[in-house]
Amino acid sequence: MTKKAVFEIRIHGRGGQGAKSASQLIVEAALDQGKQIQAFPEYGPERTGAPMKTYARISDKPITTYEPVLEPDIVLVIDPTLVGQVDVTQGLGKDGILVVNTVESTDELKKKTGFTGKIYTVDATGISIDLLGKNLPNTPIIGALIKVTGVIDIKYVEKRVEGMFLKKIGVEKTQANIDAIKRAHDEVK
């Protein structure tokens, strides 16, 4: 049995930036596609602004381990200031993928991280300010995940976003969230 029967995701963010919600949204969509799922944050002292990680696992078979994700298939970095501050590529193999919310180029990130695998960038902050009027990059970055891995279908994410936001923020703002995911999906490079 290879360990990679399970697709593993690690998300880096800061407390309060919605990394936990992002991992939850990803696995909720995966569950709707009939997958076995797991999402959990690495709880530290739970301070706003402190670097934190969340994990997600997606598989066709039941997931029994509770080990933190040590060798992710993909790492999503919600806050670009974390690059260089925490080891965002830890455990990421040569075939791994790094996605960063940034306006910097992939070459600059390669220099900063020393990572030789695939690096993608998306300006999730810019997209979110543009479409949502706020800096909420955690939802749009899921669009980038979908584009570069295809691990979940955007249709299921849209449905979950509707379920999550429609009652709370209304039709218009919910649609803006969906548009942000789609734009990040199209603009990731």
Partner 1 sequence: MIMATAKGKIFPLTGNYAIAEAMRQINPDVVAAYPITPQTSIVETFSKFANDGKVDTEMVRVESEHSAMSACVGAAMAGARTMTATCSAGLALMYEIVGVASGLRCPIVMPVANRAISAPINIHCDHSDSIGARDLGWIQIYNETAQEAYENVFLAVRLAEHKDIQLPVMVCEDGFITSHCVQNVKIYDDETMKKFVGENKPEHALLDLKNPITVGAIELQDYFFETKRQQQDAMEKVPGVFLKVGNELSMLTGNDYGFYEEYKMNDAEAVIVTMSSAAGTTRAVVDRMRADGKKVGLLRIRLFRPFPYKEVAKALSRAKNVAVLDRSMSFGANAPLYGEIMNALYPMEKKPGLQSYTFGLGGRDLLESHVEHVYKEMLAGKVSDGKKYLGLREETV
Pick from 68, 133, 163, 170 the residue near partner 1 by CB under 8 A: 68
108 counts as binding partner 1 under rule CB under 8 A: no
Give the nearest distance from C-beta 48 to partner 1 in angstroms. 17
Using CB under 8 A as the binding rule, whether residue 157 contacts partner 1 is answered as no
Give the span between the Cα atoms of 57 and 23, in whole angstroms: 9
> What gap in Å lies between CA 143 and CA 89, rounded to an integer?
20
Residues 10-49 that bind partner 1 (CB under 8 A): 23-24, 27-28, 31, 36-41, 43
DSSP-assigned states of every residue in 150-181: --S-HHHHHHHHHHHHHHHHHHHHHHHHHHHH
Closer CB to partner 1, 26 or 98, in the complex: 26
Size of the site for partner 1 (CB under 8 A): 22
Using the rule CB under 8 A, is 1 a contact of partner 1? Answer: yes
Q: Using CA atoms, how far apart are residues 14 and 3, in angstroms rounded to an integer?
A: 29
